[in-house]
Structure 1
Amino acid sequence: MTGERRYDDREVGQILKRVAELHEREGDKADARAMTRAEIEQVVHELGISRALVARATSELAVQDVRNRPVWSLGGKTDLMFEEIVDGHVDDATLTQMLEVLRRSLGDPGKLEREAGARIWSTTASTSRRIHFTVVEHAGSTTLRLEERMAGDAGAIVGMSAFAGGVTGFMTLVPLKVLVIKAVLLLMMGPLALTGALLGWVGGRALWRRRSVGREEQLRRAFGEIVALAGARRPALPSPASGQDAGDDDRGG
């Protein structure tokens, strides 16, 4: 045993998919078994793909795994991120269509800003959801990224539910006053409040789990439409000057 991390078949598939995208979508399917990074590098090397791309793909996978990982104490995910790299340039007309998908899905007009070459659309302050859609171009390709931070919402829902449960548990002492003596009530005060808080925490986790799953499905659908719009772009037509030069060359020949 070397102690090297092993990737399961899902992670191997994601890594190879990303490597293939980095290598102009050239590649093949990996074996449906756990593989180390060295084994993945051997597979892509046999496909004629640079091993260096594996390091880049695995690092990007690690980032997405952290951002999309459920938090046990809160019952669901607190960060969502969907990312896709597409070939070529995303023009303003296509970007407008993408933003319309987000506005229609989220019911928020949002605000578009440009920062250091990136185009970033964010939800407005009037909504409690913090969602950002980023379009970044680099080396002939464009990265599309849709993300939402939900830690504050998750903490508020689970925390308030646990607090309400604790108060409810404490208030059950009131009807018990006529049944038990004061000394027993004092002994029961802590356990009842703690039991109520635990029940409220369990209920809050279940509530946030449903809510986070709903948000994830909503963003996944919207991002699917956005990626489809990127794939439906038409190739740029040659400029009139280029066509004229080609015609001149033909006549000259």
Structure 2
Amino acid sequence: MSGDRRYDDREVGQILRRVAELHAGEGEKTDARSMSRGEIEEVVQELGISKALVARATGELALQDVRNRPVWWAGGKTELMFEEVVDGPVDDARLSQMIEVLRRSLGDPGQLKQEAGARIWSATTRRIHLTVVEHEGRTTLRLEERMDASVTLGSAFLGGFGGFLAGLFAVVLLKGVVIKALLLLVLGALASIGAVAGWIGGRALWRRRSEGHEAQLRQAFAAIVALAEAPVSEPSPPDE
């Protein structure tokens, strides 16, 4: 391939994104390199790209970082968001294909509605939404889920209650006034130990569950983006 070939803005963006992926994939073979926002603006300015787009991109990245951040008390993530901006519109036929990907992945028919210029597909069994918004010849695809991590708190409560009941049964079953008095004194400690054990177990359970949800949505979103970026097939000419 000739090194004199010219690339348009879309191709430059794809090449830079792929270079970043390859660089990250090399792992320890490369030196860690970080850049400030000012340094990034200098690089894109040489490519003829507006600084305003850098501000927009960094803002969107910050939002995704917040939405995809693990919650320490829950043991995993409670919000997931994947977002991609693609060139061109997404027609109804292609949107139907995207929705079919989600239906097969989630086993949920869901519902599609239009709201303020956005087309939104929502699952019925989980709080999952696919939003498709077109603006100035480009389309933003966003797949997000909000998850209820109450299983972690529920496990802590059950663990504490179990510890309390275990101590209470021991008081009833064991003989001796001194032993019973001692057990009554440590009922609170037994409940606390049970609660901590339950919380630790709940965090591990939620971590596995949230990681499973994330892997499932990531795979579905990759298929959705691939559909959006696939070239539009030209209709075959009618036979003479």
Bin of the TM-score, shorter chain as denominator length = 0.7 to 0.9
* One-letter amino acid of the counterpart of residue 91, structure 2: D
Aligned pairs, how many? 209
Which ranges of 4 or more aligned residues in structure 1 deviate by more than 6 Å? none
* One-letter amino acid of the counterpart of residue 34, structure 1: S
Determine the C-alpha separation between the residues in 1 that align with 2:225 and 2:54. Answer: 24
Determine the C-alpha separation between the residues in 1 that align with 2:44 and 2:231. Answer: 30
2:12 to 18, 26, 30: 26
Determine the C-alpha separation between the residues in 1 that align with 2:168 and 2:141. Answer: 57
Alignment of 1:1-253 (within 5 A): 23-26=9-12, 28=16, 32-124=32-124, 127=125, 129-150=126-147, 153-154=148-149, 156-177=150-171, 178=174, 181-234=179-232
Deviations 1:109-165 (A, max 9, x none): 1000011111000012xx2x1000011000001111100011xx21x2011100110
Q: Normalization by structure 2: what TM-score?
A: 0.82
Structure 2 unaligned runs (5+)?
A: 1-8, 21-30, 236-240
Is the 8 Å Cα contact of residues 168 and 187 (structure 2) preserved in structure 1? no
Determine the C-alpha separation between the residues in 1 that align with 2:52 and 2:114. Answer: 31
SS in 1 for 2:73: helix
Q: Normalization by structure 1: what TM-score?
A: 0.78
Partner of 1:10: none
Identity level (%): 68
Structure 1 unaligned runs (5+)?
A: 1-22, 238-253
Deviations 1:156-189 (A, max 9, x none): 2011100110011112214532165232122111
Is the 8 Å Cα contact of residues 120 and 130 (structure 2) preserved in structure 1? yes
Deviations 1:51-104 (A, max 9, x none): 221111110100000000000110000000011111111111111111111111
Is the 8 Å Cα contact of residues 167 and 184 (structure 2) preserved in structure 1? no
Once superposed, what is the RMSD of the aligned Cα atoms?
A: 1.8
